[in-house]
Amino acid sequence: MKAYVYVTLKKTVLDAQGKTVTQALRGMGHTAIADVRQGKYFELTLAEGTDLEAVRPEIEQIAAEVLANPVIEDYRIEFGG
Amino acid sequence: MKAYVYVTLKKTVLDAQGKTVTQALRGMGHTAIADVRQGKYFELTLAEGTDLEAVRPEIEQIAAEVLANPVIEDYRIEFGG
């Protein structure tokens, strides 16, 4: 059982890394790409026998307090096999 | 129209950042987390009127040659709204 946490900069925050990638791609002739935003991605493997419903608030807390900086970042959580 | 590219280290490559996060979480008492692997995440906004089928091989090429290092990293591409 795994939890996936996706962390991206808020829309209002300048993404310098993403802008650099966008410009590099344009310079290479990839004009189909209008914009790139870069984020982080965490794959959390849960301990065996973990109850999903019980662990959900804990994952939420980890995402908000450890993995993302809520001042400038948004996060999204998914659960999967 | 957007393309999402997820880049992770190959399973066989040591993920030092992920290990550090795992240990930090354990130190904080989050024993439900057995392991963490960290990756990158790119959100590519495609130019208006881009034909998805036409652009698919281009995104594949960008992921393989620019966004990921295929020697040590795997990538996965998704398309969405």
User: Would you kindly state where each structural domain of chain B is located, as residue ranges?
Assistant: 2-80
The pLDDT, as a whole number, for residue B19 is 96
C-alpha to C-alpha distance for B58 and B74, rounded to whole angstroms: 17
Residue B81 confidence (pLDDT) above 90: no
pLDDT tens digits along B16-73:
999 999 999 999 999 999 999 999 999 999 999 888 888 999 999 999 999 999 999 9
Q: Cβ A55–B32 below 8 Å, yes or no?
A: yes
Supply the pTM of this predicted model.
Answer: 0.87
Tell me: ipTM over 0.90.
Answer: no
The pLDDT, as a whole number, for residue B10 is 96
Query: Per the CATH hierarchy, to which homologous superfamily does domain B2-80 belong?
Result: Phosphoribosylformylglycinamidine synthase subunit PurS (3.30.1280.10)
Range B58-69 burial, b when 16+ CB lie within 10 A, else e:
bbeebbeebbbe
The pLDDT, as a whole number, for residue A23 is 96
Residues 47-66 of B with CB under 8 A from A: 47-48, 50, 55, 58, 62, 66
Q: Cβ B62–A30 below 8 Å, yes or no?
A: yes
Residue carrying structure tokens 């790409």: A33
pLDDT tens digits along A6-58:
999 999 999 999 999 999 999 999 999 999 999 999 999 999 988 888 899 99
How far away is chain B from the Cα of A75, in angstroms, using its nearest Cα? Answer: 12
Q: Is the dihedral of CA B72, B73, B74, B77 positive or negative?
A: negative
Residues A64/A42, Cβ–Cβ less than 8 Å: no
A44 closest CB neighbour out of B24, B33, B67: B33
Q: Does A46 touch chain B (CB under 8 A)?
A: yes
DSSP per-residue string spanning A1-47: -EEEEEEEE-TTS--HHHHHHHHHHHHTT-TTEEEEEEEEEEEEEEP
Residues of B in contact with A46 (CB under 8 A): 32-34
